[in-house]
Amino acid sequence: YFFLGMYWVPKIVKYSRWYLIKNFFRILAASLIMAGVLGYLLRFVQ
């Protein structure tokens, strides 16, 4: 079990880190788009 843990844990950590980075950029892009749309709508309303 120890050797299995030594083999699997780095793979899971590496994969989860890559997944978090990918989703971080996706969330950042979505939030920037939402902020731009909200700013445009507020400017249009005023």
Res 22: pLDDT: 86
Number of domains in the chain: 1
Domain range enclosing 22: 1-46
Q: What is the largest CA-CA distance in the chain?
A: 64
1 confidence band (pLDDT: 50, 70, 90): low
CA distance 11 to 42: 46
pLDDT surpassing 80 at residue 5: no
CA distance 45 to 4: 60
pTM attached to this predicted model: 0.48
pLDDT per position as a tens digit, 12-37: 888 888 888 888 999 999 999 999 99
